[in-house]
Amino acid sequence: MLVFTLLKGGGAGFSGIFGIFAKGEPYFSHYFMTIFHFLFYASFGILFYSYLGYGGLLWLFTRKPAQQKKQTTDEQWPAVTIIIAAFNEAAILDQKISNTLSIDYPTHRFKILVVTDGSTDESATVLSRYPSVKGIHLPERKGKYAAIRHAMKEVDTPLVVFTDANTLLNPECIKRIVPHYQDPAVGGVAGEKKIRVDAQNSAVGQAEGRYWRYESFMKKMDARFYTVVGAAGELFSIRTALFRPAKEEWILDDFMMAMHICLQEYKMAYEPGAFATEAPSVSLAEEQKRKVRIAAGAYQAAARLGKALNIVRHPRLAFQYFSRRILRWFFCPLALVLLLVSNIGLVWQHPDSLFFRVILLLQLFYYLLSLAGWLMLRTGKKAGLLGIPYYFLFMNSCLIKGFILYHRGKQTVLWEKAERQAN
């Protein structure tokens, strides 16, 4: 209507425009309210689908009993190499190696390889105390993926397991991972990440632990449908023959390696019985530092994984990748803002609408709970259930900061370690 009026030209055109202003709201109200309605329902739909609807949809379509895996004798276990990439981890390397050596797996089929990426501490001295562990020292620090790429040249076993230096593995982890490879369609296995919870656990750790329980449920649903979309670097495995070294450096090496397995027409299985336990961040500031760099890595990954959205070649993967990652990374942070703004506009225009008023009150109540959770976490108090609404907003704010960091080119592959509680 406004464009049509302008096209009339001359004085008539301008008088028409002034006529619209003179008549007042009916014209502009209609356009604005149409936009507000669209933004409101689109934002609500994106948020609901991303965090609840997608998981519920997979649950409805994958309610089937898990297949029993064949039993394996000691002589049938395949040879496995565990790779631990470490940078200046001498303080915890003893504990990590001892923990890895205690894994219940035939010793003649089990190799441990530790690659120190430009470490300048006493890591080499620690490694010298373990003759059964092969150590590789890279004098220049180039990042975790560069260290893994170098270490993979030394792997001669059919399966390889990756784990972080600051996590502890459960003894039966490899025996829980390996049977998945009886399925020739499986190219990798994602283990479970757990946040250590105890009486000394930080308030941030409690909120982080609840988030990872939700993530565990989602991984279970993803794997039942087709594949886990990515893997956590704390513990995952791949078939050695499927490793394709990339020339560039990746910020999220674990996620990219897992997705490249899927792009080779294999799937990533999920094994919650193989888990890595990690200490929580000591503070919100440290947790934010970690989340923001992960978010920056996510946007780098999205820029390089266009093929994963090819619904013709990878229909199930494209559906999962878009639903599980793209919507969350690119749309949900913006949807949170638009949902609130559009809701305010609709209540202003329709003050008698009970529906819009109730939704706005629920949103405001949610933000009030988040504020209470933030205040408690900031002061080191355990927020309990109040930590859930705050942590949700916290994650989305980190996505925005990570997006800015990535596009400014400020996030390198040389991560600054977040300070965590002692194991």
Render pLDDT for 376-416 as a digit per residue (tens, 0 to 9).
Answer: 877 767 667 777 888 899 999 999 999 999 888 877 766 66
Give yes or no for residue 39 having a pLDDT over 50.
Answer: yes
Q: What is the CATH number of the domain that holds 155?
A: 3.90.550.10
pLDDT band at 285 (very low <50, low <70, confident <90, very high): confident
Q: Rounded to 5 degrees, what are φ and ψ at 9? A: 80, 165
17 or 53, higher pLDDT: 53
% of residues, the chain, pLDDT over 70: 83
Asked whether residue 90 is domain-assigned, the answer is: yes
Asked whether residue 357 is domain-assigned, the answer is: no
Is the separation of the CB atoms in 261 and 268 below 8 Å?
yes
Beta bridge partners of 267: 186
Using N-to-C axis directions, what is the helix angle for 144-151 and 253-263, rounded to 10°? 50
Asked whether residue 28 is domain-assigned, the answer is: no
The three state secondary structure string of 172-227 is CHHHHHHHHHHCCCEEEEEEEEEECCCCCCCHHHHHHHHHHHHHHHHHHHHHHHCC
What DSSP string describes 377-394? HHTT---GGGHHHHHHHH
Instruction: Report the candidate in 68, 254, 278 with the shortest Cα–Cα distance to residue 179.
Output: 68
Q: Rounded to 5 degrees, what are φ and ψ at 282? A: -80, -20
Asked whether residue 355 is domain-assigned, the answer is: no
Asked whether residue 68 is domain-assigned, the answer is: no
Q: How many helices (H) and strands (E) does the chain have?
A: 15, 8
Asked whether residue 383 is domain-assigned, the answer is: no
pLDDT of 377 reads 75
Which domain range does residue 97 map to?
74-319
pLDDT of 420 reads 55
Is the separation of the CB atoms in 72 and 109 below 8 Å?
no
Report DSSP state, residue 51: I
User: Rounded distance, CA 202 to CA 90, Å?
Assistant: 24
The model's pTM: 0.85
User: Rounded distance, CA 135 to CA 116, Å?
Assistant: 8
pLDDT of 68 reads 53
pLDDT band at 21 (very low <50, low <70, confident <90, very high): very low
Asked whether residue 26 is domain-assigned, the answer is: no
- Strand arrangement, sheet containing 80-86: 133-138, 110-117, 80-86, 159-164, 235-239, 186-195, 267-278, 167-169
Give yes or no for residue 51 having a pLDDT over 80.
Answer: yes
User: Rounded distance, CA 91 to CA 208, Å?
Assistant: 24
User: Rounded distance, CA 336 to CA 334, Å?
Assistant: 5
Terminal alpha carbon distance of the chain = 66
User: Rounded distance, CA 297 to CA 301, Å?
Assistant: 6
User: Rounded distance, CA 111 to CA 83, Å?
Assistant: 9
The pLDDT tens digits for 318-375 are 999 999 999 999 999 999 999 999 999 999 988 899 999 999 999 999 999 999 988 8
Residue 124, SS3? helix
CA 394 to chain centre: 14
pLDDT band at 198 (very low <50, low <70, confident <90, very high): low
Domains of the chain: total: 1
CA 185 to chain centre: 24
